[in-house]
Amino acid sequence: MTATQQHTTGRVNGIISNLVLVEVDGPVGQNEICFIQHGDTPLMAEVIKVMGDKAYVQVFESTRGLRPGMEVRFEGHMLEATFGPGILSCNYDGLMHDLSTMSGIFLQRGDYTSALDLKKEWAFEPLAKAGDEATAGHWLGKVDENGIAHKIMVPFKMKGRYTVEEVMPAGNYKVQDTIAVLKDERGTEYKVSMLQKFPVKQAVKAYREKPRPFQLLETGVRTIDTLNPMVEGGTGFIPGPFGSGKTVLQHAISKQAEADIVIVAACGERANEVVDLFVEFPELEDPWTGRKLMERTTIIANTSNMPVAAREASVYTAMSIAEYYRSMGLKVLLLADSTSRWAQALREMSNRMEELPGPDAFPMDLPAIVSNFYARAGYVYLNNGETGSITFIGTVSPAGGNLKEPVTESTKKVARCFYALSQSRADSKRYPAIDPIESYSKYLEYPELQRVLNEQIEEGWTEKVNELKNILLRGKEAAEQINILGDDGVSIDTHLVFWRSEVVDEIILQQNAFDEVDARTPMDRQQFLVNKVLEVVATPLSFEGYEAINPYFKRVINAMKQMNYSEFESEAFNQNMKELEDTLAERKQAN
C-alpha cells in the first residue's frame, strides 16, 4: 500500500471564502480529494496546493459555518468521474452527482448521490472471449443505451497487458456485477464490472494514434459549414458580448450536428438558461435518429449561483465523459458555456492564494491550462482500428465584448475555429450573429480537408468559399463608402457591390433557427445555395440610376429567402426559383 492510499487526516487551520487551509498529519497529493466534517455533514474539497504540512483545499460547497479545528479526512485519490451505462439522458452537477435523485428544490450541502443507477439491470452481450489479449480501453462487451451500443471496456486505470480469463455469457447484469475476469503477466486475476472510475484531470489515452483531424463535421448552420467549417475532432470557440446569441447558437449546433453523443457543460451559466436546457432538450426531436434529443445528451449543470470551485470540476468532468464515449468509437460533441466563468473561478482561487497575478489578475499559467484542456479533444484511432472523436466548442463571454482580454486571447492560440459574434449584427437581427470577416477556420488551410471538401462536395469548393468571403469584404467596404458619401455620392457599381454582398449575407449567413426547414441545411442544399448565390452575384445587371437598385435586390432576396423556407426541390421551392429567374431577367444585360 502506497502512502497516498493511507487515509491522511488533518485539521482546518484557516478559511478564506471557499479556500480552506488544512494542517495535515501525513502526506497528501496534488488534486487529492478530502472531506471536511461539518457536524454530521461531510463537505467535499480538492487539494490545489501543498506547502510542507499545510494543504490549500478548494471546497465544492458553501463554507458557511466552518471554523478552525474541524476534522479533515483525505481519500487518497483525485476527483474522479464515474463511467458506465446510464450516463446518457442524465443531468449532473459539476461533481457528477445525479440532480434528478436529489431531494428538495435547492441543492442541500453535503447531498451526494450516485452517478449511476446501481439497481438497474442491463442486457449485456459479450464481445471478447477467453484467451484474448486486452489493454486499457479494450472492448469486453456491450449493452444498449438509448439505441447506442455502449461498450464495456477494460478500466482505463489498468496499465499493461492482460489476458481475458472469462467473460460472462449474455444476460442481465447490474453495473457492479462482474462481467469479466482478467489476468496480468504475473498471474494475478482482476474482476471487471461495467462501472469504473477515472481522474477527471488526467486525459484518457486508450487509443493508438491521434492524427490531425480532416473529416468535415456537418452542423447544419450555413455560416459555419460553408464559410468556416468545423471538422470531426476539431476545436473552436464562440466569443461575443452578452445577448449576441452564444447560447442559442450552441443549442442549434447541439441539435443539428452530425454527432453520436452530445455533452453540454453549463459552466457558471445563469440558472434560467440552464433551466431552459432541462425543459427544452427532452422535448426536441433528434433530426438524425427521430428519437428525443435528450436520449443521446448528457448535461453537466454548474450554474452561476453554485460554488465557484465546482466550475472547474464541471468542465473536466464533461471532458472525461466525452473521452469515455470516444473510446467506444463514437463521435462526441462537447459544448461548454462558458469557459470565461471557469477562468474567473481560477482567478478567484489564484487571488485567494495570493499568487503572482497575470493580465487582468488571471493566473499566470492560464494559457497553459486552456491549452492542455483543448488538447484533450481530437480524432483518434483506437487500438482495435476503429475511430472516435471529440469535437469541442466553447463559448467565451469577454467583459464588454472586448476580444483582446486574456481568456479570449488564450483560447485563440489553441482553438482552430474562431466564430466571433458581432454586437452590431445581433442588434440588426442578423442571426446567427457570426461576423464573416473576423471569424476563421484554420482547418481550411489543411490540404487534407481541402481534398475531402473537393471530393465530397464538388471540385473547387474552397475557391468558391474564398470568393464568397471576398464578396462580403468588398460589400463591407462599399457600405462604408455609401455611409460616408451618401447614396448619390457613389457610383452605381458601388451600390451593386454592396447589394450583391447583401445577397450572400441574407441567403447564406442568416438562418432562422425557429423555422422547421431553415433551421438545418444539409450540405447538398448548401452546395446548391452557394452555386445559386454566386450565379446571381455574377449576373450582369443594367440600371439607369441607383434608386431602382434597392427595391430590385429586395425582390431577389425575398425570392431566395422563400426558397430557404421551402422543402428542397418541392413545388413551392421551384415556384420561388422561377420567380427569381424572372426577376433576374428583368435587368439582365444582353450579351
Q: Which pLDDT belongs to residue 289?
A: 79
**What is the Cα–Cα distance from 471 to 497, expressed in whole angstroms?**
8
Please give the angle made by the CA atoms of 313, 199 and 334, to the nearest 5 degrees: 55
Dihedral (CA of 66, 266, 77, 57) sign:
negative
Q: Which pLDDT belongs to residue 587?
A: 87
pTM to 2 decimals?
Answer: 0.94
**DSSP labels for 515-547?**
STTTT---HHHHHHHHHHHHHHHHS-B--SSGG
Which residues lie closer than 8 Å to 466 by C-beta, 6 or more apart?
Answer: none
590 pLDDT tier (thresholds 50, 70, 90): low
Cα-only R_g, the chain: 27
Model confidence at 3: pLDDT above 50: no
Q: Count of CB atoms within 10 A of residue 590's CB?
A: 5
Model confidence at 392: pLDDT above 60: yes
2 pLDDT tier (thresholds 50, 70, 90): very low
Mean pLDDT of 27-47: 94
Helix axes 271-280, 246-256, angle to 10 degrees: 20
pLDDT above 70 covers a percentage of the chain that reads 98
Model confidence at 531: pLDDT above 60: yes
Mean pLDDT of 306-326: 91
Model confidence at 272: pLDDT above 70: no
pLDDT above 90 covers a percentage of the chain that reads 81
Query: Is 303 or 450 the better-scoring residue by pLDDT?
Result: 450
**What is the Cα–Cα distance from 40 to 153, expressed in whole angstroms?**
37
Q: What is the pLDDT of residues 424-442, one digit of tens each?
A: 999 999 999 999 999 999 9
Model confidence at 1: pLDDT above 50: no
What is the residue whose three cell numbers read 498529519?
25
Q: What is the pLDDT of residues 123-173, one digit of tens each?
A: 999 999 999 999 999 999 999 999 999 999 999 999 999 999 999 999 999
The mean-pLDDT minimum among 121-130, 166-175, 178-187, 306-315 falls in: 306-315
Mean pLDDT of 500-505: 98
At 361, list the grid cell.
489578475
Helix axes 549-564, 571-587, angle to 10 degrees: 160
Task: Quote the mean pLDDT of the chain.
Answer: 92
**What is the Cα–Cα distance from 579 to 566, expressed in whole angstroms?**
14
80 pLDDT tier (thresholds 50, 70, 90): very high
Alpha helices of 238-387 — where are they, by DSSP H?
Answer: 246-256, 271-280, 309-326, 339-352, 366-374
Model confidence at 176: pLDDT above 90: yes
Q: If we measure between CA atoms, which residue out of 122, 166, 114 comes closest to residue 140? A: 166
Which residue ranges form the domains of the chain, and what is each CATH number?
Answer: 3-78 (2.40.30.20), 117-194 (2.40.50.100), 216-452 (3.40.50.300), 461-587 (1.10.1140.10)
Model confidence at 337: pLDDT above 90: no
The mean-pLDDT minimum among 186-200, 263-277, 477-491, 564-578 falls in: 263-277
**What is the Cα–Cα distance from 73 to 103, expressed in whole angstroms?**
26
Q: What is the pLDDT of residues 243-261, one digit of tens each?
A: 888 888 988 898 899 999 9
Q: Which pLDDT belongs to residue 6?
A: 62
Length of the chain: 591
Q: What is the pLDDT of residues 49-76, one digit of tens each?
A: 999 999 999 999 889 999 999 999 999 9
Mean pLDDT of 20-42: 94
User: What is the DSSP pairing of strand 235-239 with strand 387-396?
Assistant: parallel
* Cα–Cα distance list, 456 to 215, 299, 391, 521 (Å): 10, 33, 20, 16
**What is the Cα–Cα distance from 517 to 281, expressed in whole angstroms?**
19
Q: Which pLDDT belongs to residue 5?
A: 53
Alpha helices of 405-457 — where are they, by DSSP H?
Answer: 406-414, 423-427, 447-456
